[in-house]
Amino acid sequence: MRTITIKPKAITHNLNQVKKLAPQSKVLAMVKSNAYGHGVAAVLPALHQADGIGVATLTEALEARQLGWDKTIGLVEGAFTADEWQQAIEHDISCVIHHTPQLHWALDNVPPADSATRVVWLKYNTGMNRLGFNAEGVMSAAKQLHEAGYQLILTTHFANADNRDHPLNARQIQRFTDVLTLLRETVSAEVKGSLCNSAGTVNFSEYHYDWVRPGIILYGSSPVIDKSAQELDLQPAMDFSAQIIALQTVNANDAIGYGSRWIAQQDTRTALVSVGYGDGYPRVVSNDAYVSVIDADNTDSTQSYPCAVIGRVAMDMIVIDVSKIPKELPLLNRKVILWGEAPHVDEIASHANTISYELLCRLSIRPARTQA
Ligand SMILES: Cc1ncc(COP(=O)(O)O)c(C=O)c1O
């Protein structure tokens, strides 16, 4: 049985950590890509103290409305067509406006005065060079939108907020601050600002402005390169587990798995765990990757044994080295933590040469899902 257990209390705890970091700002909790793989239905109730949620597609926005989310929804890439703009109005969704077609849809079809779609997130390209107007374009769009009755939130996205010392951060902050000041002086003193994702929220406390937009931090991963999740007092919101389904002793000099890449240096007790890349466990992990074999019916890491993942990860199974587990402990069907408290998903991501975001988002539909 492979199982993904979502921990709503951990998400609420992490949201409170964000609120402690940014006490003056509203929180747009990012739940795009099915709440970073956690399942939006499981996550929304844990976020009821957020001021809004952020999604990437209209479909995600409509799903959140269907699930009963009645506060702000921010569509962070905005409407893709004029028809989507109309649907956004019908469902009270606040959109990013990042290019001229979206500006025209907004000016041609102004929502009623009490509609949440009257609030637009005007995207300024401060250096990421994906979405957004340049400084001149932002000023012009802001004037037109303000005259048409829209309330504005100037927004941008950091390219390197995880690394506080990256030189682009200061440039992005400067550009953002300059344009926000100018907008407030020349268009409306009411223009709001939103600059920080999770990493920005941790690293740039002077620049939280009116809305922060945390994502990965809510799910318990560290967003920055120099502090662990534990150091930031975050709790992992997901336990990914499987079980031991067979045991072997592999003789010295014999190889394990596809490609016969792992060769036993001595006789080695191994266990087969029922998980693989077909579930979303990364196919390529370094020699340091490990799982925790649980010595009790709980996930307390003090009662668990770290066991190295050996041989190639296959679609449905991995092999682990259980030589160091006391022989008296029966292992068949025993629970194995792939990520959770230990190992943390951040560790497995680094062993897989990727980021936790990717591992969380690419979990497949095969593991059973449950909540703690
Ligand atoms: C516009 C925007 N804001 C905020 C976030 C949240 O980022 P993070 O998960 O790094 O906090 C994202 C995610 O990529 C985003 O695209």
Q: Which sequence spans correspond to the domains of the chain?
A: 8-219, 238-371
Tell me the CA–centroid distance for residue 52 and ligand 1, in Å: 14
**Given pLDDT bands bounded at 50, 70 and 90, which one contains residue 301?**
very low
Supply the residues annotated as catalytic: 32, 258
> What integer best gives the mean pLDDT of the chain?
97
CA of 177 to the centre of ligand 1 (A): 19
How far CA 57 is from CA of 27, 36, 196, 312, in Å, comes to 19, 14, 20, 36
Peptide bond into 306 cis (omega under 30): no
Name which residue sits closest to atom 16 of ligand 1, judged by CA.
76
Instruction: Assess whether pLDDT exceeds 90 at residue 163.
Output: yes
Q: How many CB atoms lie within 10 A of CB 189?
A: 7
pLDDT of residue 303: 77
The protein residue whose alpha carbon is closest to atom 9 in ligand 1 is 215
Question: pLDDT per residue over 29-69, tens digit each?
Answer: 999 999 999 999 999 999 999 999 999 999 999 999 999 99
Question: What's the pLDDT tens digit per position in 306-363?
Answer: 999 999 999 999 999 999 999 999 999 999 999 999 999 999 999 999 999 999 999 9
Atom of ligand 1 nearest to the CA of 96: 1
Mutational pocket test of ligand 1: of 126, 213, 225, the residue with most ligand atoms within 8 Å of the beta carbon: 213
The residue length of the chain stands at: 372
Specify whether the CB–CB gap between 53 and 30 falls below 8 A: yes
Q: How confident is the model at residue 298 (pLDDT cuts 50, 70, 90)?
A: very low
- Residues 284-289 have a mean pLDDT of 93
Instruction: Tell me if 8-219 shares its fold with 238-371.
Output: no
Rounded CA gap, 347 and 331, in Å? 25
Please name which of 56, 171, 167, 60 lies closest in space to residue 125, comparing C-alpha atoms. 171
Which residues sit with their C-beta closer than 6 Å to ligand 1? Answer: 30, 76, 157, 197-199, 213-217, 223
Q: Is 255 left (phi over 0), alpha (psi -120 to 50) or beta?
A: beta
User: What is the structure's pLDDT at 297?
Assistant: 53
Q: Is the pLDDT of residue 300 over 70?
A: no
**CATH architecture of the domain with residue range 8-219:** Alpha-Beta Barrel (3.20)
Q: What is the pLDDT of residues 213-254, one digit of tens each?
A: 999 999 999 999 999 999 999 999 999 999 999 999 999 999
Average pLDDT over residues 58-82: 98
Mean pLDDT of 268-283: 98
What's the rounded mean pLDDT across residues 191-206? Answer: 98
Q: Does domain 238-371 have CATH number 2.40.40.20?
A: no
Residue to probe by mutation, ligand 1, list 77, 153, 158, 197, most atoms within 8 Å of CB: 197
Neighbouring C-beta atoms of residue 220, cutoff 10 Å? 28
Give the pLDDT band (50/70/90) at residue 302. Answer: low
Cα of 205 from ligand 1 centre, angstroms: 17
Span from the CA of 157 to the centroid of ligand 1 (angstroms): 8
Q: Is the pLDDT of residue 269 over 80?
A: yes
Strands 262-263 and 255-256: antiparallel
Q: Is the pLDDT of residue 295 over 80?
A: yes
Average pLDDT over residues 72-92: 98
Longest dimension (CA), the chain: 78
Do 150 and 144 touch, CB atoms closer than 8 A? no
> Going by CA atoms, what residue is nearest to atom 6 of ligand 1?
215
Closest residue by Cα to atom 14, ligand 1, is 215
Q: Is residue 24 over pLDDT 60?
A: yes
CA 265–ligand 1 middle distance (angstroms): 45
